[in-house]
Amino acid sequence: MTIDELAADLRTAVNMAPDGDRVVRIHLFGIRRAKELEGIPLKELIARAGIPPSYHTEVHKGKRLADHVTLR
């Protein structure tokens, strides 16, 4: 998956998030896409997704959680 495809997926996840669930959706994106995110500069991904740079940390947290959780 390209960085632009990942950015579009992240943008969709954020835009479709119910009120109060934005950060949770970003974590879930990081968990779901952890393997595809390997080698992708997260700050660039965030910029291409058009969301605030501070959310870089939240994607990184989701990526780290991927080894410890199973999505239902």
pLDDT score for 10 = 97
Residues 6+ apart with CB under 8 A from 21: none
pLDDT > 70 fraction of the chain, expressed in percent and rounded: 100
DSSP 70: -
pLDDT score for 48 = 97
**Spatial separation of the C-alpha atoms in residues 45 and 7, rounded to whole Å:** 6
Residue type at 36?
Answer: E
Q: Identify the CA nearest to 37 among candidates 3, 13, 71.
A: 3
- Please report which residue ranges of the chain form alpha helices under DSSP H: 3-15, 22-32, 34-37, 42-49, 56-65
pLDDT score for 63 = 96
* Mean pLDDT on 31-43: 96
* Overall pTM surpassing 0.95 (yes/no): no
